[in-house]
Structure 1
Amino acid sequence: MLHDSVAKHDATLLMETSRRTEFCLHSWGANSYGQLGQGLVEDLTEPRDTTALTDRAVRALSGGGGHTVAVTENGEVFVCGQNHRGQLGLGHNADVSTLQLCPSLNQRVTKVVCGWDFTLLLNDCGRVLACGSNAYGQLGVGENVTHSAHVLVIESLEEPVVSVAAGLRHSLAVTDSGRVYQWGRGLFSHAKRALGPRAVPPHLRSTVPSLVPGLDQKISRQVTAGSAHCVCLTGDGDLFLWGSNKRGQLTAPEPFLSSPTLVKRSLLGNEKVLNVCSGWTHVVAQTESGRVFTWGRGDYGQLGRQAPTGQDSKWPSTDPSAEGPNQEARLPAEVKVLRGATQIACGSEHSLAIVGGCLLSWGWNEHGMCGDGSQSDVCPPQLVSGLRPLLIGCGAGHSMATCAATADSRQNPATTPPH
């Protein structure tokens, strides 16, 4: 999610470009459920044009464990991929391998975020809409609904919402007045283990939006989420984190933080933070001068820098004393090649960024989501050739980018299906 000034610049660019050109929506990576929108269910290790939405500018892209949602500049919603819990909002539970318009939405949608098997949409009136699994209360509509293939309005969020986030099994929202709400029991088991006999706070166990304590004196503007942690960015550039800290993603020594805890600016070059995004267990933050810092789990290359010696391995340790992250892994460090990025998006363990109009990728690459034609993890960030993206998005194991269509891009072998 972008800081407001960057978002406005990109929106203006999209509108100006849309008046004079066609668009290409490219996708690559994991595709077991057709989430790439290519009409097939085979992984792709290089970007390929979906041939969809060529007459529409896309303003938002997001993906979940196996599904994809695209929002156009006109507020239309297109979906594809896994749909076993109704996460596509189509009124049925069948998977879809090409992008389809969601016909039940008769309102303009402006933003979308995807959890593992659910979807949250924000309309132009600030209402939050939800569909998919509600097994953990992540839809915010109470416990009576187990899942919904129809889009539901979260009625208890009465104030207009400006930012939404979806974790693995929990959700967040920021209202126009700057208050933060959380719902879904995705963090409950982590909190229960950490807090012992103490009661788990309401915001960590509620199935309807619950006010997050500890931010009363702050005006929040943006939220993002990992698999079991939460991130909040305030209007004055402060970053607050809470939830699981198993991989050092909270920059703190405690294994779990039940309430928002400030990240010291000294860890981020003594600068304000303007933009933040999160993978499952790593965080990426951009400061006011354009510097990009990463921290958390790094053993797949998802930090975009060399993981410290002793960083937790890909396989869980059988030694309890070795489970936690070491001190060096908890500390944010700058990834200089990403300085000045205009957009950054995180999947579960991989990330994309637009820097100087070019697309860079790094991290976990088992399904080809880094787009380099291989299945080897990528570190440091590398150029994805053949693409000049306008907008990027990630799913757990797949990637998407919209580009302005030109004769060169249509003929580029890296962006067209092989013969």
Structure 2
Amino acid sequence: MDLRKWAIFSLLEPRFVSKIKIACVFGNSGNEALIVTEDDSVYALGSNSAGCLGLECHDSTLFPKKVKALCHKRVEGFAYGSGPHVLAYTADGLVFSWGHNGYCEVGDGTSCQRLKPTVIDMALEGKHVVAVAAGSHHSLTLTDDGEIYAWGHNNCGQVGSALSSNQSAPRKVNSVIGGKKCVSIACGQTSSMAVTENGEVYAWGYNGVGQLGIGNTSNQQTPVRVKGILCSVVITKVECGYSHTLALSDMGQLFAWGSNGYGQLGTGTKSNCNSPVQIAQDIGRIVDIAASHYSQISAAMTQNSTVYMWGYCRGQIITLPTKTPFSSLHEVFACFSTPAVMWKPLEVKQHEGNTVAESLRAAFDDPNTSDLTINVQGRPIYVHKTVLKIRCEHFRAMFEHNWQESTRSELNMEYYTYPVYRAFLEYLYTDHVLLPPENALELLVLATEYCEAQLKRLCEQIIEHGITVENAASLYAAAIQYQAKELEEFCFKFCLNHMTAVVQTDDFSKLEGDTLKDFIRRAAHNGAFKS
């Protein structure tokens, strides 16, 4: 997935982006991010609310800064709350925590804000953590032996300790699940969920809108099994939204329960459900699901990689799973979640080998793969007939309608200069124009002749960026000649704003009769000659 879909990454240099291994966007406005690079360095950027970037200060930053305490610790993933507080776990099974700690969600035995990521060793010492999860102000970890530890805010029982007081250090939870090994954990705003090895689901914490799925709306201070329709299926994964829950079975069935005021359950209504209901039965086998305690949006991917979304989608209430053009669940959250946070850290898979665009770019002017040579001013340009046919109507007509040129492997171009025609051909391979403003006018002529509307617009932009007092009049005349209306209007306004200087230039004195008369008429109409 292109990380530029997340606004916070828009200033990153491409070379830095190419080294990213894991990225995580969080924060109440999607304005904080953590990054792990291929060399095992960890970076942070954003507004740094409550010191959540782990930079050991409260300073915000537009550009990535190293999180020294996490560098070379082999960080594998993150979880975050809405304080925000942050958890990170490593390949060695350690858990680091930092950020907001007013409800003991950092788990260091205090309620003091922590600016530096620090290993949690209370109760977790000797344990190997393989997953972390966070609600608004509470935290869960899952160990490799299937045990769950929880801490933090506990006003609704979300820590699962059978008490209502906050838990300042990790405490084992699943001793009350009957000793069953757990394989998955998730957190809603103030609720917690776990999936056992045999596919059972357990829930605890706040249940005011039925997000625990236990058939009522009573809070639970210890884990309770979610039954009903789930008793006849094997659940492999659970994801929690702000106050709703999704569950995926090993047969690709999707179940939902909890709050539904924004259609986030996907039932076609806005009625809450306090027991699981099966949804999306008509879209095929589902292989992955997504939700976040920050938002009211849901998403799923089917076996054929089709992505669906529903719920509160950028201000719209969508009550049924709706097909999207996306190829990743992360794109749903980047484009339609409010706020635009990641539902889980994004593992960036760098391309092995070139992309299609990169391969096309490399093929331009390559004599080793070319099947057509175009000579311009005695200089060859190596291209491919198929690419030219695909990209340009002029060449498609030339090569498909028995023109004389269609059978040749070499053509001569006599009407344009080498820099301009080369720039045109390169544009067909790259969608970009690398040409100075003084040459763009000739390319504009070519684009007009070949009916290349997009190229024509690019030429107009290049010319606009290169306009000066000295060339404004001639550019205005050329825009009229080639019927470039937007460029004509731009040049006219420029001339109007610099009238005294423009009328004294050589280019202005060379304007032909009708063009000069029209310019003077328009200028007068716009008040240029009023005293």
Give yes or no for TM over 0.5: yes
**1:208 counterpart SS class:** strand
For 1:73, the equivalent position in structure 2 comes to 91
For 2:50, the equivalent position in structure 1 comes to 33
Q: Give the C-alpha shift of residue 149 in structure 1.
A: 1.0
For 2:393, the equivalent position in structure 1 comes to none
**C-alpha distance in 2, partners of 1:281/1:341?**
15
- The structure whose residues are more often strand, as a share, is 1
**C-alpha distance in 2, partners of 1:235/1:47?**
40
Instruction: State the AA in 2 paired with 1:166.
Output: C
For 2:301, the equivalent position in structure 1 comes to 286
Whether 2:146 is the aligned partner of 1:132: answer no
Deviations 1:211-270 (A, max 9, x none): 11220000001111111111111111111110000111011214200111111232x3x2
Is contact 1:24–1:52 with CA below 8 Å preserved after alignment?
no
- 2:81 equivalent among 52, 64, 71: 64
Whether 2:262 is the aligned partner of 1:273: answer no
- 1:333 equivalent among 304, 312, 322: 322
Deviations 1:176-230 (A, max 9, x none): 1100111112x32x359xxxxxxx8357521110111220000001111111111
- 2:161 equivalent among 138, 141, 152: 141
**1:207 counterpart SS class:** strand
Q: Residues 343 and 40 (structure 1 numbering): CA distance in 2 closer, same or farther, change over 3 Å?
A: farther
Instruction: State the AA in 2 paired with 1:38.
Output: L
Instruction: State the AA in 1 paired with 2:327.
Output: L
Q: Residues 331 and 43 (structure 1 numbering): CA distance in 2 closer, same or farther, change over 3 Å?
A: farther
Is contact 1:283–1:295 with CA below 8 Å preserved after alignment?
yes
For 1:209, the equivalent position in structure 2 comes to 223
Q: Give the C-alpha shift of residue 89 in structure 1.
A: 1.1
The farther-off stretch of 74-83 and 341-350 is 341-350
Is contact 1:340–1:356 with CA below 8 Å preserved after alignment?
no
Is contact 1:120–1:164 with CA below 8 Å preserved after alignment?
yes
- 2:107 equivalent among 58, 82, 89: 89
**C-alpha distance in 2, partners of 1:284/1:71?**
25
**C-alpha distance in 1, partners of 2:210/2:40?**
45
For 1:161, the equivalent position in structure 2 comes to 182
Whether 2:370 is the aligned partner of 1:350: answer no
- 2:131 equivalent among 111, 115, 119: 111
Whether 2:265 is the aligned partner of 1:250: answer yes
Instruction: State the AA in 1 paired with 2:161.
Output: V
Task: Give the TM-score taking structure 2 as reference length.
Answer: 0.53
The farther-off stretch of 108-117 and 337-346 is 337-346
**C-alpha distance in 1, partners of 2:40/2:193?**
32
Structure with the bigger RCO (C-alpha within 8 Å, sep 6+) is: 1
**C-alpha distance in 2, partners of 1:331/1:29?**
34
Q: Give the C-alpha shift of residue 348 in structure 1.
A: 6.6
Is contact 1:203–1:210 with CA below 8 Å preserved after alignment?
no
Q: Residues 259 and 43 (structure 1 numbering): CA distance in 2 closer, same or farther, change over 3 Å?
A: farther
**1:294 counterpart SS class:** strand
Q: Residues 151 and 355 (structure 1 numbering): CA distance in 2 closer, same or farther, change over 3 Å?
A: closer
Instruction: State the AA in 2 paired with 1:216.
Output: C
The farther-off stretch of 280-289 and 243-252 is 280-289
Is contact 1:203–1:211 with CA below 8 Å preserved after alignment?
no
Instruction: State the AA in 1 paired with 2:291.
Output: C
For 2:310, the equivalent position in structure 1 comes to 295
**C-alpha distance in 1, partners of 2:63/2:256?**
34
Is contact 1:202–1:210 with CA below 8 Å preserved after alignment?
no
Q: Give the C-alpha shift of residue 289 in structure 1.
A: 2.5
Q: Give the C-alpha shift of residue 58 in structure 1.
A: 1.7
- 1:240 equivalent among 252, 255, 260: 255
- 2:171 equivalent among 140, 152, 165: 152
Deviations 1:258-313 (A, max 9, x none): 111111232x3x2323343335200122222222222111226xxxxxxxxxx3xx
Instruction: State the AA in 2 paired with 1:89.
Output: G
Deviations 1:315-356 (A, max 9, x none): xxxxxxxxxx4xxx1222333243497998998732445575
Is contact 1:290–1:340 with CA below 8 Å preserved after alignment?
no
Deviations 1:131-157 (A, max 9, x none): 1011010011112x4101111001202
**C-alpha distance in 1, partners of 2:50/2:218?**
31
Q: Give the C-alpha shift of residue 91 in structure 1.
A: 1.1
- 1:22 equivalent among 33, 39, 53: 39
How many percent of aligned residue pairs carry the same amino acid? 26
**2:203 counterpart SS class:** strand
Q: Give the C-alpha shift of residue 98 in structure 1.
A: 1.8
Q: Give the C-alpha shift of residue 49 in structure 1.
A: 3.3
Whether 2:170 is the aligned partner of 1:177: answer no
Is contact 1:285–1:293 with CA below 8 Å preserved after alignment?
yes
Is contact 1:25–1:51 with CA below 8 Å preserved after alignment?
yes
Q: Residues 276 and 225 (structure 1 numbering): CA distance in 2 closer, same or farther, change over 3 Å?
A: same
For 1:263, the equivalent position in structure 2 comes to 279
Task: Give the TM-score taking structure 1 as reference length.
Answer: 0.66
Instruction: State the AA in 1 paired with 2:146.
Output: G
Is contact 1:182–1:203 with CA below 8 Å preserved after alignment?
no
Which runs of 5 or more residues in structure 2 are unaligned? 1-20, 23-36, 352-531
**1:156 counterpart SS class:** helix
Q: How many residues are matched?
A: 303
Q: Give the C-alpha shift of residue 25 in structure 1.
A: 2.0
Instruction: State the AA in 1 paired with 2:94.
Output: E
Which runs of 5 or more residues in structure 1 are unaligned? 1-12, 15-19, 193-199, 301-310, 312-324, 359-419
- 1:100 equivalent among 105, 118, 129: 118
Is contact 1:339–1:355 with CA below 8 Å preserved after alignment?
no
